[in-house]
Structure 1
Amino acid sequence: MVVAETKPEKAVEEYQDRHAPDYAATIDHGTSTFSPVPKRVMNGSEPGDITPAAVLSGAPVDLQARVVRIHKPAKPATQSGTWGSMAWRMDWDPLPKGHRWENPLMGWQSSGDFMQGTNIKFKSKEDAVRFAEKQGYEYYVQEPQERRVVPKAYANNFVHEPGPLKHIKTK
């Protein structure tokens, strides 16, 4: 009976060893300046009131140890509207080492990162932070830079200003 109990424990240890993040990996600044090595791997014994959902769902350790970025996307430079820039977005940082390679046929960058193109939209920053905490993700928030709009009017060219006349050369 004792032998049967040690086999599952050994299998769990081997699984955790195989899927544990590489804490000695260097950060790939060419891919992302915000890719810190994960600080912890969740196993359900974390302090706090909430057990992370990633532990309960049986998510792979690779996904549990990921860092997420919460940000508000900037308005596209080619568009004048602000349609897609109102919601907050959460996306996963690229894996720091060994998960990108150059495709030998075309020379394109390839990736084995299954969360690379995934993002989730939220109505507010608080909702995104609450979701990341509930999932047990390490996260950081990038505050948006507010757009400065300078009011301009053609009529301002003809407003009287005391002092010498403005001389605008056109050629």
Structure 2
Amino acid sequence: MSLPRVAVNSLRAAARPAVSYRTPTLVRCAGGEARNPSEAREVTSPNEPPAERAGRAGTWSAVRTQEGAAEGQPRHAPDYDVAADNMTSAFSPVPMRVQDGSEPGLDTPAAVLSGAPTDLQARTVRIFRPSKTATQSGDWHSHTWRMDWDILSKGHRWENPLMGWQSSADYMQGTHLNFKSKEDAIRFANKQGYEYFVQEPNERRITPKAYATQFVHSPKKLKQVRTK
């Protein structure tokens, strides 16, 4: 190698900034020897409360609050930091409040033991009483109250272009529950943590017609009531 090339390489090496490999502070402290044994005991003791270790340098601190989940998060604001499980996706709804057993009341929330997906608590259900069909079928199904799940926004509904089959990513589509009364349905929704709204039925009042109604006296103009 010629002398000018060696000189150029030396100048390049001198101009290049030196790379500094710094060891993380936590690793260096863990690998080194402590000056005082009591200091090492204070840092590594697992039985000491976090509040007592908060004021020392190199230790972590935790702030504990006594407020419940309902006071810490507004009801109208979803909790975007909720722990996602294996059933959540990009279009899954975010619950306003996750049931963890700290809810007021004597009843334990069902979500603590049911194992249902977390995003199911963010769904809205509709409580209504089905109306009688327009056909000559009976009205037995209109005696009970029904609960079904509201349409999931961004459910990615798709249709097969060949056969016309339709489906969606909403696993609660087409699912409904029947209850004997409206109060039972509301109690179930509160137990599961669902947001709900009630649709009262529109009942028609059918006045029976009779031929004798034509001869009933009334101070108004003479009336004629047809039976057919």
Bigger drift between 37-46 and 78-87 goes to 37-46
Partner of 1:44: 100
Larger Rg: 2
Equivalent position to 1:83, from 129, 140, 153 = 140
Percent identity over paired residues:
56
Q: Are 1:15 and 2:69 matched, yes or no? A: no
- CA shift, 1:52, in A, is 2.1
TM-score, structure 2 normalization: 0.51
Distance 1:21 1:152, change over 3 A: farther
Gaps of 5+ in 2: 1-45, 47-80
**What's the TM-score once normalised by structure 1's chain length?**
0.65
Higher RCO structure (Cα 8 Å, ≥6 apart) = 1
Which position in structure 2 is the counterpart of 1:143? 200
- What does residue 120 of structure 1 align with? 177
| Cα 1:109/1:152, change in 2 over 3 Å | farther
- C-alpha root-mean-square deviation of aligned residues, in Å? 3.6
Given that residues 40 and 65 in structure 1 are in contact (C-alpha distance below 8 angstroms), is that contact kept between their aligned partners in structure 2? Answer: yes
Q: Name whichever structure is richer in strand by fraction.
A: 1
**Match for residue 95 of structure 1?**
152
Provide runs of 4+ in structure 1 moved above 4 Å: 20-23, 156-166
* 8 Å contact from structure 2 (residues 129, 144) kept in 1: yes
Paired with 2:178 and 2:184, the residues of 1 have a C-alpha distance of 10
Q: 1:61 aligns with which of 107, 118, 123?
A: 118
Contact 1:70 1:142 in 2 (8 A): yes
Structure 1 unpaired stretches of 5+: 3-11, 24-36
Contact 1:68 1:91 in 2 (8 A): yes
Partner letter of residue 157 of structure 2? Answer: R
